[in-house]
Structure 1
Amino acid sequence: MQTSPPGAGRRRSFVQVLGRRRLAILAVMLVVVGCAGLAAFAFRSVPPQIRVAGLENGGVLNGAETKNGRLELVAQGGTSLDGLTVSLDGEPAKTRRDGDRLLVETPGLDDGAHELTVAADGNLGLTQTTRRSFTVDTTAPRLTIEKAQAESLRAPATIRGHVEGARTVTVGGAEVKVGDDGAFSHRLAEPAPEVEVRAVDEGGNETAENATVLVPYPDTRAVHITAIGWTSKALRDPILKMAEEGRINAVQLDIKDEDGEIGYDSQVPLARKIGAAKGYYDAKKALRELHERDVRVVGRIVAFRDPILARASWKSGARERVVQDANGAPYGGGGHYGKLSFTNFANEEVREYNMDLAVEAAELGFDDILYDYVRRPDGRMSSFTFPGLGDRKPTERIASFMAETRERVRPEGAFLGACVFGVAATRPTEIAQDIPAMAEHSDYIAPMVYPSHWAAGEYGVSNPNADPYKIVKRSLADFEKQAKGSGAVIVPWLQDFSLGVAYGDDEVAAQVKAARDNGMDSFILWNAGARYHAGGLTPRR
């Protein structure tokens, strides 16, 4: 029989007594603090009730959501934000109070799983904790898009591409089906020149790119004529005869010229307000007369050289529309354009005015809108002030002007071109004509490669004016390189006037051949008086 060791009874009695004393103390506490005190005691024994703003437990933070580098904690259920200890992935986190939120600094979180721990001191020295798990995913979907092609501006086009890691893909705002291999396609009934394709993954990361829709620019062999010139039977009839003989298939007819005059009765409000709409010719009648002969009509808009708009703007106090010199006076035109000749390409009202004219002309039925003087004045940038330009580059604003215009005239069925200086291929900043940038937003680039305008020795040609084939061929090769990959074609302006050297059929034919030897079948002949050497052009049927 086992017996208890000496003193065992006394120790048992002591424990029993101590237990009874604890119960007695607890009973006294209940009496003293009452039920409310007990409730407070119990409340302080539960984990802190915390919500992470914008993030559910087990949720995902994407690239955009991690850029601010912090999480926002919001107290719930009566939990106080005071005295909380926060850890991120087991390491103490830096916090700061911001009103009813506790901001947790989270700089440089890596992609993957993370855990946020929030601790608060409880009763009897106990620590209560709440844990929230989340995942960081900053990797956006990978998106590749093929350049689409349509047969005409009114024909449908199909956007095709491939995506990796996306939950949804939209083309022009419409959600499209993505195959198991990541391939997708979407047919556009009437495509814009650029269509946004957007891919979004499970975490909300986005990748957006513009799909380019290319429409082959038609073969265009044109001659220039002014608005007043078109009203002259003596000038108009020989041009129509050239079209009937198949020597040309297009006419470049001025919409707005170097004086700022609009050839037809434009209904654009600003044009009418400043007296620019002259109504020299009936646009609908002229277009019908040419289209009935299967002749395309290229409408030329002299954009930023506009004395009528410049004078009206300066007089009315809208001086931000005008190019100014370094002292804030109107730009003097370098002595050959005249004062108040250049409007400000950076001004939204000036840009809108020209785009309104472009859209109106496209709606009337002009096949092309061809901007001329789509540039800044030539000279040192320090000589000018362009209100509203800010820290943006002139080349960027000119290119964006082309982009905005094409978005507006393409739905009306018109192509968009830009006249550029011959030197722009190698010296883009001289007049803010960046050929690759402009080509991205144009259907064609029209370089003025007139032999008489080149200095001796350019492109290794000792006397360019006397050697039209060589200077045109070499200079156009540079433009072809600059526009490569953009989808834009080169439609050169060729010289049919005499300046220092007499030009006739042979000189015109030499330039046409030089363009063709560069793979360029389209061209526009320039003669200010609209009198052309038809014999320099081979009839085509």
Structure 2
Amino acid sequence: MMTYFKQTLAAASLLFFLSGTTVASASETESSSASESATAETTAATTTTALTLRQGALLKTPTAKELPKKFFYDSGVEIAYPADGVKGIYVTAYSVGYEEKFNKLIEYVDSNDLNAMVIDIKDDMGVVTADFNSDDTHIQENTEEYIPDVNKLMDVMEEKQIYPIARIVTFKDTLLANEQPEMSFTESDGSVWVASNGESFINPFLKQTWDYAVNVGIEAAKVGFKEVQFDYVRFPEGFEVWGDTLNYDMGEYANLEMTDDEKRVQAITDFTAYAKEKLMPYGVDVSVDIFGYTASVVEASGIGQNFPEISENVDVISSMIYPSHWGTDYFGIYKPDLYPYELVSEYMIVENELLASLETPPTSRPWLQDFTASYLGSGFYQTYGKEQVDAQVQALYDAGVNEFLLWNALNNYTY
């Protein structure tokens, strides 16, 4: 087998040939009001290169699935991409570590025509949930071994042929923000900014925050995860309103002739391209979770998300389109939680139109609601079960989409 260096060199050479473009060297290295609906959202580089703004798809390269295996790092884990498309569930690291719970989830997947698990590898607090024995000191310092043996986990995934996706919560990272305030947003007194829910973010303008998240993704790929899914790829909600009251570094974006809104969008778009580039040698797909709202408005500049631009940089786009998360009368649907089929159908009209306009559209694999949003109040929600989840899945199928992910924060599924 080729050494990692030779594999990387071969992959880089192939990319150069396919794209006809020189790849500049670079340094190595969403949201909810209730826990039941919490969404499926650093080491400084030793060398620094000039920031290159990216527009559109990264090099217009093929996906990992389309290139020979010899060009990629070999984890030794053989799990095929599901022939009928990915249909999966979200699984916390706690569930993996609790054997009885995890065995039930394995059985659930096996008995319900599902084939994938999205597993927390860097969770909503910023904890790295498995010990990768990483050379990145920040990764090791922020590791809690909620997953007792990640290699054993991969053995189970391989035996069952369950497609493993590593969920990495990217810029929402309370742990690192408090450890490295200079990589976050701070108040006038020097304290780290804290959202109303007690969470903090690290700064998407800074390359070292990119490298930290990408390095976790690389570790996941090396042990056998077949896809790296980045969640919370955004600035905090409302940043465009109150962000100027905080202290933070815009890094290489500071002097660009752009508005602050444009800079945020550029930073998030650039991160997705960077992540795709850095993970390419490992043969994994790259996916991003994104607010469904972003597609409906094309660009949510406050949080830095532009749906088409992000979509062109990734293999898979996973819009969070939970009926409970849309305001009343959105898409002309009053009390959307009561109409899961109609809501998903109307949303997919918008998304399909956007993706059809792209030169290299990603696979659409939306997040669907498998939880009850009782926090909406009487008359505005219903108890979600198999009927409501089936309705969402059918809406996707009717829209020509055959991949989906189910979200339940406690991993109690009804589909």
- The residue that corresponds to 1:357 in the other structure is 216
Preserved CA contact (<8 Å) 1:343 1:350: yes
Name the counterpart of 2:33.
none
Aligned partner of 1:514 in structure 2 is 395
The answer to whether the Cα contact below 8 Å between 1:193 and 1:213 also exists between their aligned partners in 2 is no
Shift of 1:325: 5.2
Give the conservation status (yes or no) of the 8 Å contact 1:483–1:489.
no
What SS does structure 2 have at the residue aligned with 1:359?
helix
- Structure-1 separation of matches of 2:86 and 2:401: 10
CA-based RMSD of the aligned residues comes to 2.6
Q: Which residue of 2 aligns with 1:444?
A: 316
Structure 1 counterpart SS, 2:309: helix
| Matched position secondary structure for 2:265 | helix
The Cα of 1:404 is off from its aligned counterpart by 1.1
* Rounded Cα–Cα distance in structure 2 between residues aligned with 1:198 and 1:403: 15
Note the C-alpha offset of 1:469. Answer: 0.7
TM-score if structure 1 supplies the norm length? 0.58
The offset of 1:380, in angstroms, is 4.1
Give yes or no for contact 2:131–2:140 (8 Å, CA) kept in 1: no
SS of the residue 1:292 aligns to: helix
Q: Which amino acid aligns with 1:530?
A: N
For the 8 Å contact 2:240–2:303, the answer to whether it is kept is no
Change (3 A) 1:194 1:435: farther
User: CA separation in 1, counterparts of 2:119 and 2:387?
Assistant: 25
CA distance in 2 between counterparts of 1:328 and 1:244 reads 51
Q: Residue 172 of structure 2 corresponds to which residue in structure 1?
A: 305
Q: 1:345 aligned to 2:204?
A: yes
8 A Cα contact 1:194 1:213, kept in partner? no
TM-score by length of 2: 0.74
2:89 match: 223
C-alpha distance in 2, partners of 1:337/1:193? Answer: 45
Partner of 1:496: 370
CA shift for structure 1 position 243 = 2.9
* Structure 1 residue ranges, 4+ long, deviating more than 6 angstroms after superposition: none
2:329 — aligned with what? 457
Partners of 2:333 and 2:17 lie apart in 1 by 40
The offset of 1:332, in angstroms, is 2.4
> Of 373, 393, 397, which residue of structure 1 is paired with 2:267?
397
> Residues 375 and 433 of structure 1 are in contact (CA less than 8 Å); yes or no, is this contact kept in structure 2?
yes
Tell me the distance in 1 between the aligned counterparts of 2:406 and 2:347.
17
- Select the structure of larger CA radius of gyration: 1
SS of alignment partner, residue 344 of structure 1: coil
* Corresponding residue of 2:156: 289
Q: Does 1:467 align with 2:339?
A: yes
Output aligned runs, 1:394-433, within 5 Å. 394-425=264-295, 426=297, 427-433=299-305
Equivalenced residues, count:
332
Aligned runs of 1:362-377 on 2, under 5 Å?
362-377=221-236
Structure having the larger proportion of residues in helix: 2
1:277 to 114, 132, 143: 143
Q: Which structure has more strand as a fraction of its residues? A: 1
User: Whole-Å Cα distance in 2 between the matches of residues 271 and 279 of structure 1?
Assistant: 15
Pick 1 or 2: higher relative contact order, CA cutoff 8 A, min separation 6: 2
Aligned-partner SS, 2:406: strand
Gaps of 5+ in 1: 1-172, 175-187, 200-208, 537-541
C-alpha distance in 2, partners of 1:252/1:468? 23
CA distance in 2, matches of 1:273, 1:286: 20
Offset of residue 444 of structure 1: 0.9
Query: For structure 1, which segment, 227-236 or 351-360, has the greater mean C-alpha deviation from structure 2 after superposition?
Result: 227-236
**Structure 2 equivalent of residue 236 of structure 1:** 102
Structure 2 residues not aligned, in runs of 5+: 1-8, 23-57, 67-80, 375-381
2-structure distance, mates of 1:371, 1:444 = 11
